[in-house]
Amino acid sequence: MRDLRGSAVRVDRGGGATCGEHGQVGDDPLDAGAPHQRHAVALAQPLGPEPERLLGHTFLQLSPRQRDPAAVVAVPHRLGVGRAGNTVAQQAGNRQRHCSPFSGASLQSGTLTLVADRRKSLLDAALALVEEGGLDAVTIAALTERSGMSNGSIYHHFGSRAGVFAQLYADSYARCVAAMLPALNSRPACDTVRALTLHYLDWVMANPSRARFLYAAPGHADPSVKQAEFAPVLAWFLDRMASGELRPIPPWALEPVVMGPAHESVRRFLLGVFDLAEAREIIADAVWAVLKP
């Protein structure tokens, strides 16, 4: 093999590389010492029929600093042309594409995904404990046993037991409101109010554990978080009230008064003494009756 100046490059039995009359390859840190030289020469060789396997194997043997794609692709500039017709710049570009899965952005994305997965596992464990034994069943010890994570992980992600409840409430409430949002459209107000009510009742029936937690732990709700989530629904009600399509109702009365029939029916359903599926249409009519102008 020849370098850019035409001198022959040979690999000695120890893995070192020499450059004809110009002596040892390179002066930069990646070339210092036989192991580094061996990897540098390996990267300069034709990749053959399995470039991903070869390059990935070589790349993973490098130290963490050497795994920087910018550092790796700088090596071939001393070692000249590899496979026929490929310039040094082309080879560097190819290698950088092969190394891209190890980029900082990919590692950061993977870390964020891992954190989200751990948080989800802890919240799922808390929800299961609430379902089995109520709020009192959710202790740090029970969470560590159910989730398989350490005390430190729980405190790191949520700060405290109360922090777990606050996040579980915010997550469950957001899911509930998200299930209602598709009902907001340009249909007549009567149809939209009924659709909102039915969407809510259907979400409760599909997610009884989360609904039970929402009704059991209102004290753990963050009012500002609830307000932000409910803002699109509230804005729709206020717009329709201003246009005269709905009876004017103070915002504070929407949940206890307007949705009162729905809430009472849901509570009985969660106790196992009420058929919510059979009553859903009647409940929707009752909510509309309160808002009918």
> Domain range spanning residue 71?
9-102
| CA distance linking residue 41 with residue 150, whole number of Å | 45
Domain assignment of residue 4, yes or no: no
- CATH number (domain holding residue 121): 1.10.10
Burial bucket for residue 150 (CB in 10 Å: 0-12, 13-18, 19+): exposed
Same domain for 215 and 278? Answer: yes
Q: pLDDT tens, 20-74?
A: 444 443 344 333 444 444 443 344 444 444 444 333 433 344 444 444 444 444 3
Domain assignment of residue 3, yes or no: no
Domain assignment of residue 2, yes or no: no
DSSP string, 189-240: HHHHHHHHHHHHHHHHHH-HHHHHHHHH-GGG--HHHHHHHHHHHHHHHHHH
Same domain for 111 and 216? Answer: no
Same domain for 285 and 234? Answer: yes
Q: Closest Cα partner for 31 from 8, 64, 62? A: 62
Q: pLDDT tens, 241-275?
A: 999 999 999 999 999 999 999 999 999 999 999 99
Same domain for 150 and 108? Answer: yes
- CATH number (domain holding residue 167): 1.10.357.10
pLDDT grade for 118, boundaries at 50, 70 and 90:
confident
**How much is the average pLDDT of 69-96?**
46
Q: What are phi and psi of 237, to 5 degrees?
A: -60, -45
Domain assignment of residue 1, yes or no: no
CB-based contact 194:115 (threshold 8 Å): no
pTM given for the model: 0.61
